[in-house]
Structure 1
């Protein structure tokens, strides 16, 4: 038979994000693989941001019928962290199938050993290529001993002892449809052009080796696969183990289940770093709820926040060279104005276009901490310039972030403010900024730190009274002159909004982690009590936290996949953040470590979210176990390993800068208040001066105590492209002012007032 029928096939999707394992060979190879439901699914090449196939499953057929091992779901996963290979043993009615997955360290190839046991059985690999990062536009064909696919300059080859093969369109003429309709392999289509395609082959013997390879051409993919087969599975495995052995750390001893999870977390960090673009670390080798969508981005993208969280883990491990590699990548991908894209492909191309201040602040903290630990050469001018540009961006654009750390709402968040203050102050204190720039950055950090409660702390609300606390930090305060007031739209929940007072979250814990607030600060303790009563979820596997009330990012109540709306579930990484606070407050953090280690998938991978309702077996949802969100999540594994190391070594959080914490825990107070229209202030303390700032030149028309002593003052250039007028209110009770913009020849048409005395 020639051309398959049913072109172009049904709309493609990715594989489920419920991964059993992730792996790669730490050599010249540029291939990464994942396992889920006991089979091979997304394979990435030549970078971690480029998935090239949906899955490679197996059908077992014999006199008694046929079975798809993925759907049977009875299997054992035999995987050890820091080893390249994985064994999966499937058992079903009358059969036992053993699969060994071994990546080649020198070729872009993966070997798959198979052994099918059972009377009169045949094995049928079923391959769904998604070349170029999409299921559309693939062409598949069959040659002797090979199943092939190509799209543009990307090609895939699966070689093995095939008796025959078939190419088809998914949902119409693919091999699974053949078995579903005919109970056997009856189709042998030689080709399926430009669509959502699949390939199937019948293996001659119950035992053998397959080779999957990728290259720019089909001929190249076949050559790599053939060479790997010639070398043989045992020799490839020996070299792959040797490559991994060099990277095995000696982690502190702990309870076996906690220590094992620490090694798994390190394994995930190593796997998720790119080799084509060293230093790039993707958030996950998965697409959240991928079996319901054809998302071209998924989580196989670099988020600066997640990447830096992982790089801090390397510092905690005493591995500064890995952190320096991340810094080099960050310096290469920084925008000219100093920020980083919301996320990007490993090659540096931006994907989403949002801006988050924390993603500009965290790389600064990483560079400063690396210097503090002696791992950064003073003469590294490129990193110094990276820090300077990022600090300039924070100074110009802060303190209001266009997006919070959950990438949803604009405003002022304790987390974003905390890392921004630490970055600005640290850049000055550690000598990355000099002269006027250093003085300005430190003054700005002092001011924003002092105003943090003004922006993000409320007291005496109905929520406080209902839970018996005096006040609490909110996770987000909207931009504008009203402070923490009003309502905020809940993302992914159309028509749902919350009063700011009800916007709870764990963001405030970072004020303690960074050393900006004492762990026993009554405001911190009160907020923690409130959060533990409202966001904490106790599940069979442990204690977890939801991001915030009425979160919309997660499965629906009936377990249906997130489809742009849903209900947010509990996040293991937040258990890690809660555990780090427990450590700093003198409490036992091990309940949080145990929770993170227990709320994992079959292979110990930590998910983005765990299911937090009654079980829904038909959807694979169990309380305290992974939901359909991303797994593994780089950020979650980094959080686990950082907490494990801090606890087992008796150390503090690796993100904390000593001089910054010393300054603010000692009660540093600002000498200058920085006035900006998005965060105006109404009062100055007697010892403080006022710096009125704008991002463009202006003339300040001002007067004192009821518009007396009226005069105009032209702004002067400030560091980082800002402009300002510095004023001393001594001898006056009130300042009134308005703006004139000479470049535009217009007045603002609004008056402002600042009184002297009381709090700012």
Structure 2
């Protein structure tokens, strides 16, 4: 809804009213709430127009009992209040139908809204945006004159003048017009005061449970607000459905990009970890309950869904299957009883991780396939933490896979002796992503999304994704590889701004405004992400530094109302577009992920431990750990096997291994057997391999040969010692 002021009773030549005020464009307002954790905003617009002073007070309240939004208004000055509502039902505003019938209505595909008021709605009209909407009427006549009773299907808008100078508006939402009318009128009948009292009581009880530090008053207030932002993004009809944002990126200039009001398993889990750390684990438990209800039969979760669980994007991101397992483990670690079905959920999820990893169709930025340090770290941690729910054979298998992926991670995601490494005089660094083997792996190129087909060498593409290796306990902060990568990332991605040092997602990112400040439209230039200063702050914390500067940097990026954005501007100011260095751009705001990252860093500063660092994972990988076996997969083949490891060949379908030793000597065949998690496996024990220098092989699937010969060099050396503190899974 947008509000406009029309001069009251002052007609000029031709009957036109002398002057009207577009309050959105005037942007002269103040915003306040009763307390940071009580999301009951009061907006006061004030100013002077055509020699007359005005003051409009708006109080916005979601009805705690109904699917209705209440807006109490009070207007001072010689004006009348006009309201224009652009429904945007369905997310984009397309194919909406609007009509007037005692109130203002809009409909799209089973969703209906009704806008009603305590007083009469004068000159009510339904129009097509840009043609016959209320703004066009005001622009042409200085007041509302049209009275169209129906508009659409298309991008529509509803308009009316409020006869009373003070009163309440109600927006009711339902699947029928009668239902929307009933909710709106019922909310008005019970009254704003009753709803406000109930709303404040419920939020007050919730806020009393929060346990948030306040290094200074500003950070303390932002912490309370951040916790409330996470809570506000949970759907009431579908508890546990925390959407990524209630905003639409660049929504002030386009309605074609769609909003972030969808549930991503990654964002929801990271928010849940923040809520646990803040002292409200019950909120996180509802997130896990929804995961139990929305898991796919093969064990994974969809890329994102509506709060109902209905699919939106259906891409596969391995970390989004592993994250719910980490949440279940965290809740158990906090002493909460398992939800019924948790063991089965974990088993299905880990089975999917083992069958499809370590590669992922999409990385955490939803753009590229391959092996990514962030995704791999989450998967390894989930296997290590979730193994406790599995039967013995599957538990041992999950831990063996976790150990192998953890040990081989550098061979997939770490580069040395590159031009960048030589320039910065470092031994090497973790890359953002290693493309699939078919695309060259670390020697290949990565397609830069939103950059009109540009590519970059995988070995030159860096990000903060590696930070989760320490965050989850797989590497220590003083590991030279971590230290060197941090030098590279600080050099390539860090940008000083008036808000502090901020970071790009990766070099040559294309998701952001154009160079001249035009909104992202499918291409652009990636800007700075405040949440990444949180990730950098966690690295600082684990290195023994005080992360307070990073917290203050994130806080300095907040809007006047305290909301944290997805991105901030990183170039010279463009005042006419409202773009200033270190200040919110047109991207999504608030972003749940950013508020969650701020909260977790603030709380980790008190505890000295990241919220995501689970004891089972940290203890297992506190020091370097040899894997019991390495596996050959098409996606992650190996050319050389260290001594003391078993060698397992893995395939999702049955196969026969045709092999020989040391240059195809002593040729034999062995059949794979169906093993745990539905994979076909064939294993050579370390004792058998020790007598040979290489293994040559090819595979037959049914009657079809794969058409390629392979060789694995077998390193000779002393048998690996298994220390007493290693679990039995490492001995097998």
User: What TM-score do the two structures reach when normalised by structure 2?
Assistant: 0.92
1:251-400 alignment runs, 5 A limit: 251-295=212-256, 297-377=258-338, 380-400=339-359
Structure 2, unmatched stretches of 5+, are: 11-17, 721-732
1:438 deviation in Å? Answer: 1.2
Mapped partners of 1:280, 1:133: distance in 2: 17
Contact 1:541/1:625 (<8 A) preserved:
yes
**Counterpart pick for 1:165 among 109, 113, 124:** 124
Match of 1:107 in 2: 66
Q: Which residue of 2 aligns with 1:38?
A: none
What is the root-mean-square deviation in Å for CA atoms of aligned residues? 1.9
Range 477-486 or range 582-591, more displaced = 477-486
Alignment correspondent of 2:7: 61
Q: 1:732 to 1:246 in 2, by over 3 A?
A: same
1:681, CA displacement in angstroms?
Answer: 1.0
Deviations 1:196-250 (A, max 9, x none): 2222222223222222222333333333333322333222211211121111024
In structure 1, C-alpha distance between the alignment counterparts of 2:437 and 2:504, rounded to whole Å: 27
Cα-to-partner distance string for 1:382-421 (whole Å, 9 max, x where unaligned): 1111111111111111111111110111111111111111
- CA gap 1:686/1:141 in 2 versus in 1, 3 angstroms: closer
- Does structure 2 retain, via aligned residues, the 8 Å contact 1:543–1:591? no
Contact 1:60 1:69 in 2 (8 A): no
After superposition, residues 724-743 of structure 1 pair within 5 angstroms as 724-727=681-684, 728-742=688-702
Gaps of 5+ in 1: 1-54
Cross-structure match for 1:43: none
Q: CA deviation at 1:193?
A: 4.6
Deviations 1:566-598 (A, max 9, x none): 110000111111111111110110111111111
Q: Is 1:547 aligned to 2:505, yes or no?
A: yes
Determine whether 1:201 maps to 2:160.
yes
Does the Cα contact within 8 Å between 1:142 and 1:165 map onto a contact in 2? yes
CA distance in 1, matches of 2:553, 2:107: 44
Tell me the equivalent position of 1:525.
483
Q: Could you tell me how far 1:367 is from its partner in structure 2? A: 1.1
CA displacement, residues 711-734 of structure 1 (integer Å, 9 cap, x when unaligned): 111111221111121113111111
| Partner in structure 2 of residue 460 of structure 1 | 417
* Residue aligned with 1:106, SS: coil
Rounded Cα–Cα distance in structure 1 between residues aligned with 2:357 and 2:618: 21
- 2:581 is paired with a residue whose SS is coil
Task: Tell me what 2:192 maps to.
Answer: 233
Q: Tell me the CA shift for residue 679 of structure 1.
A: 1.1
Contact kept, 8 Å, 2:2 with 2:24, in 1: the verdict is no
TM-score, normalised with respect to structure 1: 0.89
Aligned to 1:414, which of 362, 366, 373? 373
Corresponding residue of 2:493: 535
Is 1:682 aligned to 2:643, yes or no?
no
Bigger mean CA deviation after superposition, 73-82 or 696-705: 73-82
Q: Displacement of 1:537 after TM fit?
A: 1.3
The residue that corresponds to 1:657 in the other structure is 614
Cα distance, 1:335 vs. partner?
Answer: 0.9
**Corresponding residue for 2:383?**
424
- Which stretch has the larger CA shift, 253-262 or 201-210? 201-210
Q: Deviations over 1:626-677 (max 9, x none)?
A: 1111111111111111111111x22301111212222212221112111112
In the TM superposition, what is the alpha-carbon distance from 1:71 to its structure 2 partner? 0.8
Q: Distance in 2 between matches of 1:566 and 1:362?
A: 30
1:56-105 CA-to-partner distances (Å, cap 9, x unmatched) read 33334344411110011111111243224211111232322111112221
Q: Could you report, residue by residue, the CA deviation over 1:124-158 in whole angstroms, capped at 9, with x for unpaired residues?
A: 111222334442333333345x3333345433222
1:125–1:200: 8 Å Cα contact kept in structure 2? yes
Of residues 380, 405, 410, the one that matches 2:364 is 405
SS class of match (1:740): strand
Alignment of 1:48-127 (within 5 A): 55-62=1-8, 63=10, 64-79=18-33, 80-93=35-48, 94-118=53-77, 120-127=78-85
Structure 1 runs, 4 residues or longer, greater than 4 Å off: none
CA distance in 1, matches of 2:2, 2:258: 21
Indicate the SS of the match to 1:447: helix
Pairing 1:573–2:528 present: no
